[in-house]
Amino acid sequence: MYSSSSSSSNTKPEKHEVFISFKSEDTRKTFTSHLNAALKRRDIETYVECKVERGEEIPLTHVKAIEESTLSLIVFSKNYADSRCLDELVKIVECGKRKKQIVLPVFYDIDPSDVRNQRGTFAEAFTKHERHFEVKKVREWRNALVEAANFSGWDCNDVNRTEFEMVEEIANDVLQKLNRANVSDLDAQIAKLEQLAKLQGEFYQKIISVENLQNQRATVQRVIELKMERNMRLLRLTPDLLSHMQRSNSDDSYGGVFGNTFF
């Protein structure tokens, strides 16, 4: 059912940010392949599922990969519901709620309302599922489809745009979402410290002392360090490059910034 580019069920998956769920027969050699390549060009590590035979439970490695992802990309296509990727969809929706992960649906050659309301090929798939699976399981799949389809996503049925254009736009959107998620903790710290520095400046104008000035300078310096770390995260440097920078700056006056505040 699936293709793998960064892991397999027999090997330990590499560190990744994006989990891609898709129906192999529909998009493996076309849309999903092009989208995965566009993400790779932006230095975004992806987990693209291995092949899972019909009727099998999704491997624990896939469950773990979903849980460890920052963002899950769901490529809905005509035959998406005719597969056991519905189980992983349930997991993706669960992580979106429980772990506040980003869920991004992409509708390829399928009307979003057909997914949301399980019409057309989705209705046909569920007619089969209802004959082979418990009512509770089928209801769980239906609910997951409705919830996933209601997330803000991408409709690729615009005849005025090429597939290349759509893939590039989606990849840029993913990058922006990941960048915001990767620096959100720093943005919160920076905002608080900038407010503190402002309050210190207003207060210390009235009570000037060496200690007060040192306190304010320490706050400002910390803001500078955090902004530097923020910029470094947005550069998406590889571990090798980060290690090189740490070694190169170990004797530099800014070595503490590079060596102690990243990852």
Q: What is the pLDDT of residue 184?
A: 82
Percent of the chain with pLDDT over 90: 52
- Identify the helix (H) or strand (E) that includes residue 70: none
Residue among 31, 21, 24 nearest 170 (CA): 31
* Residue 32: inside a domain: yes
State whether 131 and 189 are in the same domain. Answer: no
Per-residue DSSP letter, 188 = H
Lowest mean pLDDT among 5-9, 149-153, 175-179, 247-251: 5-9
Pairing, β 71-76 against β 102-107: parallel
State whether 22 and 150 are in the same domain. Answer: yes
State whether 133 and 23 are in the same domain. Answer: yes
Instruction: Give the predicted TM-score (pTM) of the model.
Output: 0.75
Q: Give the list of residues 6+ apart from residue 148 with CB closer than 8 angstroms, or none.
A: 74, 76, 89, 92, 93, 103, 105, 115
The residue behind tokens 């309301």 is 117
State whether 102 and 207 are in the same domain. Answer: no
* Residue 164: inside a domain: no
Q: What is the pLDDT of residues 175-213, one digit of tens each?
A: 999 998 888 888 899 999 999 988 888 887 777 777 888
* Residue 63: inside a domain: yes
Domain range for 241: 183-260
Active site residue 88: yes
State whether 151 and 47 are in the same domain. Answer: yes
Point out the catalytic residue in the list 49, 88, 147, 229: 88
Give the C-alpha separation, 37 to 48, whole Å: 11
Mean pLDDT of 86-109: 94
